[in-house]
Structure 1
Amino acid sequence: MATKASENERADAIRWIQAQMADYGLTMEELKAAGCFDPPPPPPPPPPVCYRNAQGMSWDGQGEMPDWLRRAVNAGQSVEFFRIG
């Protein structure tokens, strides 16, 4: 159930939208035609895992190297040792 604060915020948002529609002369039909009510696209699939250790910790190869892999590399292990496939 919504709280009183969120009910008030919701009502404020509705009033703001109504005011914007009035200011710009927008109709519901125009908003529908512009795709405003289309469902959002599905999120992209996660990137495939490229590296995994024996404990099942994984990394997709994007962004900063995770601690578990950095420690292994600093200890002399090759990154390629953990490559999958």
Structure 2
Amino acid sequence: MDERKRESIVAYLRRRMAEFEIEPEDIAASIAADQEQLRAARYRDAIGNTWDGKGDAPQWVIQATSAGQSLEHFAIGGTTAQEPVKRNSVDWRNDPFAGTKLATIKPERLGAG
């Protein structure tokens, strides 16, 4: 990311934080809470949803077990927390067709579907 774009994003974030009266400490506390929740997680799905196994099961667990999946399938192995699932992302900045009509045509209209 170029420096000008970075500075623009930082300025935007600072304005929005001021607008909602969010302090940097609030962000740090939120990140720490998220990390603690990940460390406490006993179950994780492929998308990254987690559950510590306490209290009512979240909707993703209920749906998966109702569909026949075992709860052990989602168990996080070992005693240490694993890294959250990282999704592969596509870098569209180098897409030669971005913004063209070709980028908006559905594959089934091209005869591929």
- Using structure 2 for the length normalisation, give the TM-score: 0.34
Structure number having the greater helix percentage: 2
Higher gyration radius (CA): 1
